[in-house]
Structure 1
Amino acid sequence: MSAEVIRLNGVDLTLPASSGPVEILKGIDLAVSAGEMLSVVGPSGSGKSSMMMLIAGLERATGGSVVIEGVDFSGLNEDALARFRRDRVGVVFQDFHLIPTMTALENVAVPLEFAGRGDAFDRAAESLKQVGLGHRLTHYPGQLSGGEQQRVALARAFAPAPAILLADEPTGNLDGETGRQVIDLLFEMQSKHETTLLLITHDPALAERCGRQVRLRDGRIEADGANAAAAE
């Protein structure tokens, strides 16, 4: 049986607002094994992105526990969380979040340099070749198409060989055919690296490509299983 890499126990997330505290997540229980591909679906505002932010250590739970690869996030300060995320968790957003003043190669090398990798640029170049951009190393984001920018973001996420990849609507800003190509590449890279994948999507067909689907509604998990997306 595969090792457990994600464990959420009774997780709550409440955020302040001008009208009073807002409950975003309510008693979330989730366990994900190494190498598993999990889609997270549900209506807008159901808590999908917030759950991903907790798993990435970009947001703090206000109740319950978040344990990633056996590490309880409640015991880590912000610097330790940042180091853990840098080394073990890759994140791909709908917006590409590339640094506009850096080339594709420099963008991919950034997390590797922060990790003290002496081969940062060689590794970044190899990662870009894997996503079909070996000929675009010196191009800036403004010189790349949307699909190419998301490929750079994928290369950057996979370059440190993370245990977990979190993808939040990675094709949301791409046209249909370009989005299909990026998703095919995402699944290809996941298989090659045997990375645990959590994919947030509004697309039922895309959700069904993962082996398991979790449906959120109003901050709670209402379905969890291979056929959860069929309830859309």
Structure 2
Amino acid sequence: MPAPSPVARCVDASRVFGAGPAAVVAVHGTTCSITDRARVAVIGDSGSGKSTLLHLLAGLERPTTGTVDWPALDETERTFGIGVIFQSPSLVGPLTVAENTALAAQLAGASDPDDRAGDALDLLGLSDLADRLPEEISGGQAQRVAAARVLAQRPHLILADEPTGQLDHDTGQHLMDVLVQVADRTGAALLVSTHDPAVAQRLVEHWHIRAGRLTLSNPEADR
């Protein structure tokens, strides 16, 4: 039986910002793939290229050279089948927490976006914030609402960029519990960028990135 197609794949993909002497290579020629139900940690310090790699895999950045594709996803699945938890604030200011959480599922045409949003907020212990606006909650709460929005979307691929960066240890571990639980339940692939070893150890595959250069390793070798 042939191996399943990767959910997302980079082949010698690079991303350069700027031109000439001022050019910055954020990601050097990188080849990697995310398989069905994968659990991947991308480990690196701030400025190492983690976010750029994640944006390439999400289709939010075009590679300067090489290719990025999504062999297992058709065009519709490409649009709504990839969910991104951004490191920076991403909530829509005029919408309540509940409305923000339901937004992606609603745009994807789900028949029950409000129910999905309620379930996701409940999983993350955020139900009491449902009627608040983003300006009325903390940065850490906003990060968890952004995660709830992706969970309500129920994508085939979850890409989370430092999702625990603004959270204390226990809250961060709970968020990881929920991300892994939902990915297991829905069959989604999960990739998390992090600089935190406690987050990385929750995932099976470890990719290391330094100065835009990615290396793949066996987590057993990291211990």
* Partner residue in 2 for 1:130: 123
Distance apart, 1:12 and its partner CA: 1.4
Q: How does 1:168-183 map to 2 (within 5 A)?
A: 168-183=161-176
Unmatched 5+ stretches in structure 1? 73-79
* Partner residue in 2 for 1:220: 213
Whole-angstrom CA distance in 2 between matches of 1:71 and 1:86: 9
Confirm whether residue 89 of structure 1 aligns to residue 82 of structure 2: yes
Distance apart, 1:115 and its partner CA: 2.6
Distance apart, 1:87 and its partner CA: 0.7
Q: How does 1:61-210 map to 2 (within 5 A)?
A: 61-70=63-72, 86-210=79-203
TM-score normalised by L of structure 1: 0.83
More divergent stretch after superposition (28-37 vs 182-191): 182-191
Contact 2:7 2:73 in 1 (8 A): no
Whole-angstrom CA distance in 1 between matches of 2:35 and 2:132: 38
Question: Does the residue aligned with 1:98 lie in a helix, a strand or coil?
Answer: coil
* Partner residue in 2 for 1:24: 26
Aligned length: 221
Unmatched 5+ stretches in structure 2? none
Question: Does the residue aligned with 2:13 lie in a helix, a strand or coil?
Answer: strand
Whole-angstrom CA distance in 1 between matches of 2:211 and 2:204: 24
Distance apart, 1:101 and its partner CA: 2.3
Distance apart, 1:164 and its partner CA: 0.6
- Root-mean-square deviation (CA, aligned residues, Å) is 2.4
Contact 1:86 1:111 in 2 (8 A): no
Instruction: Please list the CA deviations of residues 112-133 of structure 1 after superposition, one character each: whole Å capped at 9, or x if unmatched.
Output: 2323344332332233233333
* Partner residue in 1 for 2:60: 58
- Overall identity of the aligned pairs, in %: 36
More divergent stretch after superposition (172-181 vs 144-153): 144-153
Whole-angstrom CA distance in 2 between matches of 1:95 and 1:50: 13
Whole-angstrom CA distance in 2 between matches of 1:149 and 1:204: 23
